[in-house]
Amino acid sequence: MSVIAVPKVRSKRVTTGVTLSRRTGMVFVLPALILFAVFIAYPLFTALSYSFFSWTGIVRGEFVWFENYVTLFTKLPYSTDIPNAFLHNILLFVGAMVFQNTIGLGLATLLHRVGRFKQFFQTMYTLPYLVSPLVIGYLWSLMLSPLFGPVNAVLRAVGLDELAQPWLGNPQTAIWVVVIVTAWQWIGFPVLLYGAALGGIPQELDEAASLDGASAWQRFRSVTLPLMVPAIGTVSVLTFIGAMEAFPIPYALGGSQGNPAGATDVLSLLFYRTAFESGASNAIGTSSAIATLLFAFIFGVAVLFTVMLRRAERNLT
């Protein structure tokens, strides 16, 4: 849940030289390598293997090939919970994409053009992104409270009484609350990254188009937007990863059960619940199968998208 940036494939620089022997270099790398190996690499490989065994509590049983995976798609509650949770993850992704590529891109473009108070606005937009998502989730759960939540109070104050309702108690509205709160918190990040990308576009291009009589919209549409494709692509990959890993906001808004009635359930919650709260005897086998599928899906799509993006970028230049 700490994915921050997608690194570019590093281009070899001629200026970089060699001053460390392999042995000395190894001494420098070793502390990091040990930490990485013990707490990241080893658990990752082991987690994968867990899903191929049958478990009784914490005792590993026999090797069962793909039986745990078959269970996920054929046995209740998994066969209904997984599509339900997956759909919600996709909604989180789509919601964030729509929000950041309309309002977010608009804010970044205006900030770049207007320029006044730029840093102040950036700070305002980025603050929710830095606050703990768990705090954000709980904060909104209080704000949307049916009894004395400020949101309903505002709706009543402006005469929209019929809209005031228990937002998080109604399965129809609860998932949209999660989607909007997630997109609202996330947007500071796209605004910053789009801003950095806009700053990297040469001014002359815009000015040349302006001299040719292009309107502000035409300049945005035909000059700025195509040059923004790499930034939008990078942000989209990160948005995808973030949406698939969603955990604290749904947990704060709907608890570990995805209340009401699974309406706010997401895959990470399902994994957590299966592993630590279900009490099923094969909890480890089943939850590891969920984790492995989710892992493969996130990593697979992220890599595929990044490769496509690199190719598109190369074609642009």
Partner 1 sequence: MTATLTPTAGPRGSASTPPDAHRRRRQRPTVGGFAASTFLWLYAAISIAPLLLMVSNSLRTTQDMAQNPLGLPLPPDFTSYQKAWVTASFETYFFNSIFVTVASVVLSTAVSLLAAYAFARTRSKMFTSLEGLFLSGLMLPVYLAILPLFFLLDSLGMISNLWSLILVYAALGIPFSTFVLAAFFRQLPIELDEAARLDGAGPFQTFWRVHLPLVKPAIATVIVFRFVPVWNDFFYPLILIRDRDSYTLPVGITRFFGEYQTDWATLFAGLTLATIPLVVLFLIATKQIVSGLTAGMSK
Residues numbered 173-232 forming contacts with partner 1, rule: CB under 8 A = 184, 187-189, 192-193, 196-197, 199-200, 203, 216, 230-231
Q: Which of 64, 103, 209, 214 binds partner 1 (CB under 8 A)?
A: 103
- Tokens coding 297: 């899906």
Give, as ranges, the residues between 73 and 102 that touch partner 1 (CB under 8 A).
none
Residue pair 293/240 in contact (Cβ under 8 Å)? The answer is: no
Amino acid at 129: Y
| DSSP result, 112-179 | HHH-TTHHHHHHHHHHHHHS-HHHHHHHHHHHT-TTT-HHHHHHHHTT-GGG---TTTSHHHHHHHHH
| Beta carbon of residue 184, minimum distance to partner 1 (angstroms, whole number) | 8
- Tokens coding 81: 């919970």
Location of structure tokens 């919600």 = 88
Q: Which of 22, 74, 76, 279 binds partner 1 (CB under 8 A)?
A: 22
Window contacting partner 1 (CB under 8 A); options: 63-71, 80-88, 90-98, 110-118? 110-118
Nearer to partner 1, 78 or 247 (CB): 247
By C-alpha distance, which of 114, 113, 104 is closest to 192?
Answer: 104
| Beta carbon of residue 159, minimum distance to partner 1 (angstroms, whole number) | 15
| Beta carbon of residue 69, minimum distance to partner 1 (angstroms, whole number) | 15
| Beta carbon of residue 6, minimum distance to partner 1 (angstroms, whole number) | 5
Question: What's the rounded Cα separation, in Å, for the pair 98 and 112?
Answer: 21
By C-alpha distance, which of 267, 264, 255 is closest to 78?
Answer: 267
Q: Which residues, including other chains, have CB under 8 Å from residue 227's CB and lie 6 or more apart?
A: 197, 201, 205
Q: Is 147 in the site for partner 1 (CB under 8 A)?
A: yes
By C-alpha distance, which of 169, 256, 247 is closest to 177?
Answer: 169
Question: What's the rounded Cα separation, in Å, for the pair 179 and 60?
Answer: 38
Q: Is 64 in the site for partner 1 (CB under 8 A)?
A: no
Q: Which of 70, 87, 98, 114 binds partner 1 (CB under 8 A)?
A: 114
Window contacting partner 1 (CB under 8 A); options: 63-71, 87-95, 115-123, 166-174? 115-123
Give, as ranges, the residues between 234 and 263 that touch partner 1 (CB under 8 A).
234, 241, 244-245, 247-248, 251-252
Burial 173-183 (b: 16+ CB within 10 A, else e): bbbebbbebbb
Window contacting partner 1 (CB under 8 A); options: 11-19, 74-82, 90-98, 167-175? 11-19
| Beta carbon of residue 214, minimum distance to partner 1 (angstroms, whole number) | 14
Q: Is 61 in the site for partner 1 (CB under 8 A)?
A: no
Residue pair 287/85 in contact (Cβ under 8 Å)? The answer is: no
Under DSSP, the state recorded for 260 is S
Q: Is 142 in the site for partner 1 (CB under 8 A)?
A: yes
Nearer to partner 1, 51 or 263 (CB): 51
Q: Is 167 in the site for partner 1 (CB under 8 A)?
A: no
Residue pair 189/202 in contact (Cβ under 8 Å)? The answer is: no
Report the sign of the C-alpha dihedral through residues 19, 21, 22, 23, in that order: negative
Give, as ranges, the residues between 270 and 309 that touch partner 1 (CB under 8 A).
271-272, 275-276, 284, 287-288, 291-292, 294-295, 298-299, 302-303, 306
Q: How many residues bind partner 1 (CB under 8 A)?
A: 117
| Beta carbon of residue 107, minimum distance to partner 1 (angstroms, whole number) | 6
Nearer to partner 1, 139 or 214 (CB): 139
Q: Is 312 in the site for partner 1 (CB under 8 A)?
A: no
